[in-house]
């Protein structure tokens, strides 16, 4: 009845509609009783606390490499490492902290959510929830969504701190910049709006990670192969969405004079 | 009572149900038989609200499942126990937590839940395994735990999807005895989907045969055995010769 292009368009529209329905149902279910507090806390520990070491390690390393690159580039141009603290801090707090944290969490948490929900789907565990009178969106999606949008911005804030400290370590011990100069460069130009610029972005990234992972998990078809495909699609889709939306979100926040 | 009228369902090009009509009376055990891929499980899933009919109606106690809101559907689902073919136990929870799962939303005290879980596990012959993980159980044990979970809420209706598939003859008979026991002692209305004829004759009050998306015959086990319908005779005799043709050529293409 339809040709292949029309079928693809219908399929795309269907998946867009069902993803919006899932987002709507998840947000509405957050305010409906019973509140699954224990499940939310369990997910917060899994998503937040267990992601802390890898988040700290990556942000500290990125802060170090940023300071190194900024310092040597400045020396090449100005013959001395100027404004290293400023460059590191602005790059980390407004951009790299939220984006890098979201990237790391996508690989660690987003993939795990899709694989777990996908396995539950193909082994009929999600159907079993329905037959036991439980709403799977309320029981599975809401705790994961709430844990993501609370813990990922907190992780991004911690990443900001460790990124700036990483930059300080290289500035002080590799580039021989005095501590007071680094911290003066850091704090003199930084405003609270700059922090909110990154923080707001990380809330949006958290929502993207949660919704894509949950949507792909619930939509898994087939056996083990289906779970693998869904997990890969979730990670790739999330990363692309984060990087594309990052630009538009940054432009919007700048236009609104937030950072 | 469960009333199914003119139910249609298709997946892509595959028209699975093409106008199914069926009534299940309170207290009876009805078995739906039919070849693999004939739509038995799809029909069962319509009764519990996992699928909604594209055309036609499925009514449980007079409530049309296709015309109710989601929370009303959940209320209907609470009256129905469903035994999945592979058990569908929650592998992140212990056996005890699996059986207790549906009870946690019934405002019962922990003491009552604990007692009920023990009773249900005892009923399926698996007392004292509350702390064991589903991954440590055999196929037969998983099915019995799933049955314990399904009956824990004292459902009015019990749906069994291939309850004996993949089990050895002795375990199959244990499951059949459990179905009979639930019918006699708990007065549950049961719908069993299977193509295990030994099981069919043992547990059924009535049998319905599904072929090409329609119920082609219903009757007591004796009526089905003596049916003059050649398709029914071919199926119960397990013969490859007759009006039911396997679509082997289509698969080969």
Alpha-carbon distance of A203 to A198, in angstroms, equals 9
CB contact under 8 A, A128 and B75: no
- Between vectors from CA B51 to CA B206 and to CA A220, what angle results, nearest 5°? 130
B55 bridge partner residues: B8
- At residue B241, the pLDDT reads 78
Enumerate the domain spans of chain B. Answer: 1-79+189-253
With 50 as the cut, is the pLDDT of residue B251 above it? no
A22 falls within a domain: no
CA B239 from chain centre, in angstroms, equals 25
Average of per-residue pLDDT values in chain B: 89
Both structure tokens of A19: 């993803």
CB contact under 8 A, A128 and B84: yes
Complex ipTM value: 0.86
Pairing status of strand B29-33 against strand B206-211: parallel
CA B213 from chain centre, in angstroms, equals 18
Question: Residue B162 to residues A256, B191, B209, B217, B218: CA-CA distances in angstroms?
Answer: 61, 11, 15, 20, 19
A3 falls within a domain: no
Phi and psi, residue B127, nearest 5°: -60, 140
pLDDT in tens, B75-123: 888 899 999 998 999 999 999 999 999 998 888 899 999 999 999 999 8
Cβ atoms B158, B182 nearer than 8 A: yes
Q: How many CB atoms lie within 10 A of CB A98?
A: 32
> Could you tell me which residue, B36 or B119, shows the higher pLDDT?
B119
A13 falls within a domain: no
**Least CA distance to B86: which residue of chain A?**
A123
CB contact under 8 A, A132 and B75: no
A195 falls within a domain: yes
Q: What is the pLDDT averaged over residues A104-110?
A: 95
Closest Cβ–Cβ partner in A125, A131, A134 for B80 = A131
Could you tell me which CATH number the domain at B1-79+189-253 has? Answer: 3.40.50.300
B57 bridge partner residues: B5
- E strand spans, chain A: none
- At residue A40, the pLDDT reads 95
Q: Residue A75's closest CA among A148, A171, A202, A145?
A: A171
B211 bridge partner residues: B214
CB contact under 8 A, A131 and B105: no
Indicate the number of domains in chain A. Answer: 1
Quote the minimal CA–CA distance from A56 to chain B in Å: 29
Chain A residues near residue B89 by CB distance under 8 angstroms: 125, 128
CB contact under 8 A, B50 and A130: yes
- At residue B2, the pLDDT reads 93
A95 falls within a domain: yes
pLDDT in tens, A27-55: 999 998 888 899 999 999 999 999 999 99
Tokens 């003066």 identify what position?
Answer: A184
A169 falls within a domain: yes
Q: Residue A212's closest CA among A109, A129, A128?
A: A109
Range of the domain at A189: 36-255
Pairing status of strand B29-33 against strand B2-11: unpaired
CA A184 from chain centre, in angstroms, equals 30
pLDDT class of A140 with cuts at 50, 70, 90: very high
């Amino acid at each position: 009845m339809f040709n292949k292009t029309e079928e693809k368009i219908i399929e795309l529209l269907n998946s867009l509609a069902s993803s919006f329905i899932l987002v709507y149902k998840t947000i509405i279910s957050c305010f409906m009783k019973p509140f699954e507090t224990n499940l939310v806390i369990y997910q917060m520990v899994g998503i937040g606390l267990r992601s802390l070491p890898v988040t700290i390690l990556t942000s500290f390393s990125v802060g170090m490499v940023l300071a190194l690159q900024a310092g040597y580039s400045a020396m090449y141009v100005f013959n001395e490492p100027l404004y290293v603290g400023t460059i590191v801090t602005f790059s980390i707090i407004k951009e790299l902290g939220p984006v890098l944290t979201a990237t790391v969490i996508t690989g660690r948490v987003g993939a795990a959510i899709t694989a777990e929900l996908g396995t539950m789907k193909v082994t009929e565990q999600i159907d079993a929830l329905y037959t036991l009178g439980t709403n799977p969106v309320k029981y599975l999606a809401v705790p994961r969504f709430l844990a993501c949008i609370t813990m990922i911005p907190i992780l991004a804030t911690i990443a900001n701190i460790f990124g700036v400290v990483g930059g300080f370590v290289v500035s002080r011990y590799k580039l021989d910049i005095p501590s007071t100069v680094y911290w003066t460069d850091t704090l003199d130009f930084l405003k609270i709006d700059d922090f909110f610029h990154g923080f707001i972005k990380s809330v949006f990234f958290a929502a993207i990670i949660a919704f894509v992972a949950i949507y792909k998990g619930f939509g898994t078809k087939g056996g083990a192969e289906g779970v693998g495909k869904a997990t890969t699609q979730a990670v790739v889709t999330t990363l692309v969405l984060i990087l594309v939306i990052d630009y538009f979100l940054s432009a919007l926040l700048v236009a609104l004079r937030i950072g | 009572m469960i009333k199914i009228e003119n139910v249609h369902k298709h997946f892509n090009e595959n028209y699975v149900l093409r106008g199914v009509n069926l009534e299940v009376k309170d207290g009876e055990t009805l078995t739906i038989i039919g070849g693999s891929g004939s739509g038995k499980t799809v029909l069962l899933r319509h009764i519990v609200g996992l699928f909604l009919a594209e055309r036609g109606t499925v009514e449980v106690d007079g409530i049309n499942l296709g015309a109710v809101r989601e929370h009303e559907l959940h209320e209907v689902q609470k009256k129905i126990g469903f035994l999945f073919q592979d058990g569908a136990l929650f592998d992140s929870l212990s056996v005890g937590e699996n059986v207790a799962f549906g009870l946690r939303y019934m405002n019962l005290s922990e003491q009552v839940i604990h007692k009920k879980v023990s009773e249900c596990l005892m009923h399926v012959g698996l007392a004292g395994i509350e702390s064991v993980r589903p991954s440590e159980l055999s196929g037969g044990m998983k099915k019995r735990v799933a049955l314990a979970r399904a009956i824990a809420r004292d459902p009015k209706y019990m749906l069994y999807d291939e309850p004996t598939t993949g089990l050895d003859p002795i375990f199959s008979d244990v499951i059949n005895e459990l179905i009979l026991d639930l019918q006699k002692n708990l007065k549950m209305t049961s719908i069993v989907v299977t193509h295990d004829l030994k099981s069919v004759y043992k547990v059924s009050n009535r049998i319905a045969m599904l072929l090409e998306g329609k119920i082609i015959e219903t009757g007591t086990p004796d009526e089905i055995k003596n049916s003059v319908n050649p398709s029914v005779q071919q199926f119960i005799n397990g013969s490859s010769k007759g009006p039911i043709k396997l679509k082997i050529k289509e698969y080969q293409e």
